[in-house]
């Protein structure tokens, strides 16, 4: 029930990932080809070649396009035993289970399928479902003593973010790994730029600009139950399931801004609206937000998700009085201080390479007993920042983080009529 990935040579694969970054579950028919494509791509990445010390018994929750594709990367890593799968749809669980060689008795479906997977003897879970379900699933896994690898965003509302934060703290206390999969901070060129920003070369940040442009996604008419919104990434059109586009997609660029700034904002002012033709969900596909940080830093964010052929972009630009820097999901990372040589590095195949690196990091943390779980704090801060931006923009007002947290508004998902 998550992002889509196709097949083919690396360059064509990367182009598809740009256009379909939140393409959604393709359904059961796609799981086999997606898994094969992921395996072939991972084989070309040296990070996947190290001989693991032991295999981690892993369960996958969410067997759509992104989930089944990611399962191929876990399998190719060599450090995981693919023990169980779960998806709301049994056909998706079976197709992915066939591709992974998972026994029929460990392929679970329905709303409670993830609980059955957790109880099946897994050591770790990979969560690749609509983010509206993440807090409940992650908390259940931690409570059961299971390591957690999860996609972003970690939640769609403030209560969900706070639940993830609590689960991450509990995981550390229980000596469990809790890992959130962001790709931008894994790229070597982005890392080099961030090192310079955090050092003396950059100086005091005075402004940041983030841009998120993507082609949008399908938003068909609603049916009697939520079931039709759980396939093909349709969930991204519903705020209670996907968090709104600024939360589901723009968060990559906004997370990069928090990475460079080393802090989260205290307030946001914005505007947003729905511009796509014939909308049925409540997702806003155009937004402009200005974030303000504790030290006065200004952060301008622009987001757009419409099928207008515009070039795909996820980037963060940072400025000081004497230098500027760029980190991005695609194209190049760049740093230049006035009067000094420029640094430019190519960001290479981050959609796949970032996931491969994160899978290896998760494996190393589990096997090596590293339970600090540093990705949780920034993932929660980034998600809260995006929710702050969403709410300020939807209300066309200025909203502080303190006000947002005090509201603690929960987004209800209507599960009536769905299979338990």
- Based on its alpha-carbon atoms, the radius of gyration of the chain, rounded to whole angstroms, reads 20
| pLDDT, position 392 | 98
Q: Among 46-50, 81-85, 218-222, 310-314, which is the least confidently predicted range?
A: 46-50
Query: Residue 300: is its pLDDT beyond 80?
Result: yes
Query: Residue 123: is its pLDDT beyond 70?
Result: yes
Query: Residue 263: is its pLDDT beyond 80?
Result: yes
The percentage of the chain sitting over the pLDDT mark of 90, rounded to a whole number, equals 86
Give buried/exposed letters for 350-376 (b at 16+ CB in 10 A, else e).
bbbbbbbbbbbbbbbbbeeeebebebb
pLDDT band at 10 (very low <50, low <70, confident <90, very high): very low
Query: Residue 111: is its pLDDT beyond 80?
Result: yes
- Better pLDDT: 315 or 33: 315
Query: Residue 288: is its pLDDT beyond 70?
Result: yes
| pLDDT, position 21 | 31
Q: What is the mean pLDDT of residues 148-163?
A: 98
Q: What is the mean pLDDT of residues 317-323?
A: 98
pLDDT band at 217 (very low <50, low <70, confident <90, very high): confident
Domains of the chain: 10-129 (3.40.50), 184-407 (3.30.360.10)
Dist CA 220 CA 218 (whole Å): 6
Mean of all residue pLDDT scores within the chain: 90
Predicted model pTM: 0.89
| pLDDT, position 251 | 98
Q: What is the mean pLDDT of residues 102-121?
A: 98
Q: What is the mean pLDDT of residues 66-76?
A: 97
Query: Residue 323: is its pLDDT beyond 60?
Result: yes
Q: What is the mean pLDDT of residues 311-331?
A: 96
Q: What is the mean pLDDT of residues 259-268?
A: 98
| pLDDT, position 54 | 84
pLDDT band at 285 (very low <50, low <70, confident <90, very high): very high
| pLDDT, position 50 | 52
346-359 pLDDT per residue, tens: 999 999 999 999 99
| pLDDT, position 25 | 31
158-179 pLDDT per residue, tens: 999 999 999 999 999 999 999 9
| pLDDT, position 8 | 32
Q: What is the mean pLDDT of residues 207-220?
A: 95
Query: Residue 34: is its pLDDT beyond 50?
Result: no
The percentage of the chain sitting over the pLDDT mark of 70, rounded to a whole number, equals 87
Q: What is the mean pLDDT of residues 234-250?
A: 97
357-373 pLDDT per residue, tens: 999 999 999 999 999 99
Dist CA 338 CA 207 (whole Å): 16
CB atoms within 10 A of CB 378: 17
Query: Residue 396: is its pLDDT beyond 90?
Result: yes
Q: Among 6-10, 114-118, 219-223, which is the least confidently predicted range?
A: 6-10
């Amino acid at each position: 029930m998550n992002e889509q990935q196709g097949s083919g040579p690396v360059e064509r694969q990367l182009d598809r990932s740009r256009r379909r970054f939140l393409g959604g579950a393709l359904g059961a028919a796609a799981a086999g080809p997606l898994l094969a494509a992921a395996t072939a791509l991972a084989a070309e990445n040296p990070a996947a070649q190290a001989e693991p010390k032991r295999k981690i018994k892993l369960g996958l929750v969410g067997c759509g396009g992104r989930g089944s594709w990611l399962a191929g990367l876990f399998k190719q890593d060599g450090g995981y035993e693919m023990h169980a799968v779960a998806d709301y749809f049994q056909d998706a669980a079976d197709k992915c289970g066939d591709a992974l060689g998972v026994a029929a008795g460990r392929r679970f479906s329905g709303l409670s399928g993830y609980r059955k997977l957790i109880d099946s003897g897994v050591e770790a879970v990979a969560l690749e479902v609509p983010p509206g379900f993440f807090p409940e699933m992650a908390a259940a896994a931690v409570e059961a003593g299971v390591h957690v690898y999860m996609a972003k965003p970690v939640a769609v509302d403030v209560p969900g973010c706070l639940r993830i934060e609590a689960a991450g703290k509990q995981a550390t206390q229980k000596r469990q790994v809790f890992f959130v999969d962001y790709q931008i901070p894994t790229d070597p060129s982005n890392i080099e730029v961030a090192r310079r920003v955090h050092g003396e070369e950059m100086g005091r940040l005075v402004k940041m600009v983030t841009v998120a442009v993507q082609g949008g996604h399908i938003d068909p008419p609603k049916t009697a139950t939520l079931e039709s919104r759980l396939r093909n990434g349709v969930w991204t059109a519903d705020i209670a399931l996907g968090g709104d586009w600024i939360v589901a997609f723009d968060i990559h660029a906004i997370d990069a801004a928090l990475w460079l700034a080393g802090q989260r904002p205290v307030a946001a002012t914005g505007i947003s609206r729905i511009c796509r033709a014939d909308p049925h969900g409540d997702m806003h596909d155009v937004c402009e937000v200005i974030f303000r940080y504790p030290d006065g830093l200004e952060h301008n964010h622009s987001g757009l998700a419409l099928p207008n052929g515009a070039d795909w972009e996820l980037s963060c630009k940072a400025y000081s009085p004497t230098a500027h820097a760029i980190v991005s999901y695609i194209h190049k990372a760049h740093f230049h201080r006035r009067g000094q040589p420029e640094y430019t590095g190519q960001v290479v195949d981050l959609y796949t390479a970032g996931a491969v690196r994160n899978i290896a990091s998760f494996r190393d943390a589990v096997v090596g007993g590293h339970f600090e779980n540093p990705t949780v704090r920034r993932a929660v801060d980034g998600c809260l920042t995006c929710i702050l931006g969403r709410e300020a923009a939807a209300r066309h007002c200025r909203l502080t983080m303190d006000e947002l947290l005090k509201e603690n508004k929960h987004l209800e998902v209507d599960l009536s009529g769905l299979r338990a």
